[in-house]
Homo-oligomer: A and B are copies of this chain.
């Protein structure tokens, strides 16, 4: 993997916070939020972050720029459960001419 960003565990190190509430549809038979459901949480936080800095993602896209996800790496530290409200902290780093990395902390 080319991923180089090491997400800090301190929320204070992040630029932006977006709160999500987990859905029942995202739970699994272990009674927790299924691990695949986190990537849409991160995406939702990313979209809100872009809006907050004046670059709504639909405007970005209608301008002809699609932002493809090249890599994703998640460490599941503790389970989320149904109806949990959780703050997704987000910080941008490791910017190159064609790529950037975003660190998230839940």
Task: Please give the residue numbers on chain A whose beta carbons come within 8 Å of chain B beta carbons, in ascending order.
Answer: 1-3, 23-32, 34-37, 39-40, 43-44, 47, 56-58, 61, 66, 68-76, 79, 81-83
Contact = CB atoms under 8 A, between A and B. Distances in A.
A83 B62 CA distance: 13
B71 A74 contact: yes
Given A23-B44, A30-B66, A57-B82, 5 more contacts: A28-B29, A29-B81, A47-B83, A57-B83, A58-B82
Contact of A24 (B2, B31, B57): B57
A3 B73 CA distance: 10
Contacts of A40: 23, 25-26, 36
B44 A34 contact: no
Given A35-B72, A73-B72, A76-B71, A28 B28 contact: yes
